[in-house]
Structure 1
Amino acid sequence: MRDRRRIVISGCSSGGKSTLLNELARRGFRTVEEPGRNIVREALATGGDALPWVNAEAFVRKAIEYAHATLAWVRTHDGPVFFDRSAVDAAAHFERLSIAMPEDLEKLCHTTIYSSPVFMAPPWFELYEQDDERPLSFETAVLEYNYLRLAYPKRGYAMIDLPKSSVTARADFVLRCLGL
């Protein structure tokens, strides 16, 4: 039987999403890295302006295009694929900043479809770290998280909250929820 679920791990910045994806990859599952980190790294390395705190539209455009491309990349993969964030996260960034999404990006978002439910990493102050790629405060990260809690259901996705537990326990939880 084919299993082509495209499962999103979203939620609060520095909530343990990437660590969870690394654990799922260690267990043999295909994973896709967060678009935002790649975009920020590239902009910082090249002096580009596609940074969420400098040029939100350029950042969101790249994030949605990256999300769409990664779905195409795994299109023929038999087996579940876990994504660190999604195009919905990028769209929520526009909503949080009250920026109207350009029509071409809106169309691209509507064709970038994942499986439901989406797993949400809640704000977890004890894990929170700032760095060059994530300069936002914990309070701003919580605000972004709250917008994600609205954005996913608005687009028809159910959500399951990840427990605040070890990465092993979180991975076990996700796989149990998915019947894997």
Structure 2
Amino acid sequence: MSKFIITGGPGAGKSTLIEALRAAGFRCFDEISRQLIQQEVASGSQCLPWIDLDCFARLALKGMITDHKRASTFGQDQALFFDRAIPDIIAYLRVGNVPVDALFQQAVQQYPYQPTVFVAPPWEAIYVNDAERWQTFAESCALHDAIVETYQQLNFTLLELPRISVAERVDFVLSTVSQYVPMSIGTRNSSTKLN
């Protein structure tokens, strides 16, 4: 199977694109960090990115590895989409000035993705804060830059998503993905939602 990452700074339209791809019938994996923040806040935990980034990063890594393993159980002819992936954790640690443990670098090698990665650029017109997105737009831009630098250092090829409608972004992604995976009915599963 082909595991495609959609990344970028907070509020750039990644999750909206993932939802549109899911609605089009593709298997998608939601952003782990948003789920973890909700879970940790509800439990009263201190393992949150603005309190203990190292602890949070390790939880996120565990979740991303679990998703990667789940994805590996699907057919070889399927295009799978991930809202962020293991390299994003490294970028967030770097921005937070937290040492990057070797286990994160090892995980990138052990759990590979497609080398072509879609990156959503900062887009102030659509940027909003919510319960899981506390960063300012300037901080989102800084995270975007760190994410791009990290993926490039890890030898991924970044393909910037244009600032166009969600439907046009879906077409852009699928046009690119079709170079790797035939876009036949066998690559989709409209009844499956993965979290």
Identity %: 28
The code of the aligned residue for 1:88 comes to P
Match of 1:12 among 9, 12, 15: 9
Matched, 1:107 2:106: yes
Do 1:11 and 1:121's aligned partners in 2 also have CA atoms closer than 8 Å? yes
Alignment RMSD: 1.1
User: Structure 2 CA distance, aligned partners of 1:104 and 1:143?
Assistant: 24
User: Structure 1 CA distance, aligned partners of 2:3 and 2:43?
Assistant: 31
Query: When the two structures are aligned, how many residues end up with a matched partner?
Result: 177
Do 2:57 and 2:93's aligned partners in 1 also have CA atoms closer than 8 Å? yes
Which stretch of the first structure deviates more once superposed, 45-54 or 14-23?
45-54
Displacement of 1:64 in angstroms is 1.2
User: Structure 2 CA distance, aligned partners of 1:50 and 1:123?
Assistant: 27
Matched, 1:49 2:50: no
Displacement of 1:39 in angstroms is 0.8
Q: Deviations over 1:137-161 (max 9, x none)?
A: 1110110000011000111100000
Secondary structure in structure 1 of the residue aligned to 2:61 = helix
Do 1:64 and 1:109's aligned partners in 2 also have CA atoms closer than 8 Å? no
For structure 2, which runs of at least 5 residues remain unmatched after alignment?
A: 184-195
Secondary structure in structure 1 of the residue aligned to 2:124 = coil
Show the 5 A alignment for 1:61-72.
61-72=58-69
TM-score, normalising length from structure 1? 0.94
Displacement of 1:106 in angstroms is 3.4
Displacement of 1:63 in angstroms is 1.1
Do 2:86 and 2:104's aligned partners in 1 also have CA atoms closer than 8 Å? no
User: Structure 2 CA distance, aligned partners of 1:121 and 1:59?
Assistant: 23
Do 2:79 and 2:177's aligned partners in 1 also have CA atoms closer than 8 Å? no
Q: Deviations over 1:93-122 (max 9, x none)?
A: 111222212233432333121102100000
Query: Which residue of 2 is the match for residue 135 of structure 1?
Result: 134
Do 2:5 and 2:83's aligned partners in 1 also have CA atoms closer than 8 Å? yes
The code of the aligned residue for 1:58 comes to C
Do 1:39 and 1:50's aligned partners in 2 also have CA atoms closer than 8 Å? no
The code of the aligned residue for 2:139 comes to T
For structure 1, which runs of at least 5 residues remain unmatched after alignment?
A: none
**Comparing both chains, which one has the higher relative contact order based on Cα–Cα distances under 8 Å and sequence gaps of 6 or more?**
2
Q: Deviations over 1:44-75 (max 9, x none)?
A: 11111221111100111111111111010111
Query: Which residue of 1 is the match for residue 56 of structure 2?
Result: 59
Query: Which residue of 2 is the match for residue 149 of structure 1?
Result: 148
Query: Which residue of 1 is the match for residue 188 of structure 2?
Result: none
TM-score, normalising length from structure 2? 0.87
Residues 26, 69 of structure 1: alpha-carbon distance in 2 compared, 3 angstrom cutoff:
same
Which stretch of the first structure deviates more once superposed, 114-123 or 104-113?
104-113
